[in-house]
Structure 1
Amino acid sequence: MAKVQLRSVSQVRCGDKGNTVNIALFAPSDALYRVFLREVTPERVKAHFRGWIEGEVIRHEVPNLLALNFVCRDALGGGGSGSIRVDNLGKCFGSNLQRMEIEVEDEILAER
């Protein structure tokens, strides 16, 4: 079992609307999608963004796209135009999520 950052095994797409951030996490294979289901939980995402996401994190599974979609409420300090945060837009959350470390079985990494 190896610890890897999501950036080495995924792609992301994200955005924001008001005070909510949406992060879509894409796996390149069925095996990695199953790892994401196990490792990238709403609780872990919220903990990863401790101090940034104040509301709930909801995970939607999209198996036909090998994707997880996270809706993060109260995540932008009031919203893009109302926040005093520097760099508070939703697109920044995607690259930040990719810093999260997960455990992946060695044989799954070898398949890549």
Structure 2
Amino acid sequence: MNTDPNSLTVPLYRLAHSRTGDKGNRSNISVIAWHPALWELLVAQVTEEAVARQFAQRRPSRVTRYLLPQLQAMNIVLDDVLDGGVNDALNLDSHGKALSFLLLDLPVQVPGALVPYLAGPR
């Protein structure tokens, strides 16, 4: 239970930006904090379980998170989310950048003390 009256729930894109790529039926999404002060919050809330829930409709067979603390970044690998891969899929919208936008919509609870570090309107 959150007891901070100044906390906000915001989409992940307010805390981080992303890059993405794909190989076969695997999507690789990086998440990079906008500010180092947000890093620990990202580690705590952008977990493998949270990402798996966010991508539930894509039914990943596995979600693996790799932390890169010196860069305040993480790499998320989602297996079996690309409809068989770019060359096999009829659904081009499920590839590349579209999946990073889905991840960047993940809700994150931000304590009031970190709100000044968020990107976008306050």
Give the TM-score range, shorter chain. Answer: over 0.9
CA separation in 1, counterparts of 2:57 and 2:29?
17
User: Residue 2 of structure 1 is aligned with which of 3, 8, 12?
Assistant: 8
TM-score by length of 2: 0.86
The total of aligned residue pairs comes to: 112
What stretches of structure 1 move > 4 A for 4+ residues in a row?
none
User: Residue 73 of structure 1 is aligned with which of 76, 79, 93?
Assistant: 79
User: Residue 50 of structure 1 is aligned with which of 49, 56, 59?
Assistant: 56
User: Residue 92 of structure 1 is aligned with which of 95, 98, 117?
Assistant: 98
Asked if the contact 1:2/1:106 (under 8 Å) is kept, the reply is yes
Please say which structure displays the higher CA radius of gyration. 2
CA separation in 2, counterparts of 1:111 and 1:32?
7
Gaps of 5+ in 1: none
CA deviation string 1:55-90 (max 9, x = no partner) = 100000001110010010001010011113241212
Matched, 1:105 2:97: no
Asked if the contact 1:15/1:22 (under 8 Å) is kept, the reply is yes
Aligned to 2:28: 22
CA separation in 1, counterparts of 2:40 and 2:84?
34
Q: CA RMSD in A?
A: 1.3
Gaps of 5+ in 2: 1-6
Quote how far apart the aligned CAs of 1:111 are.
Answer: 4.2
Letter in 2 for 1:47: R
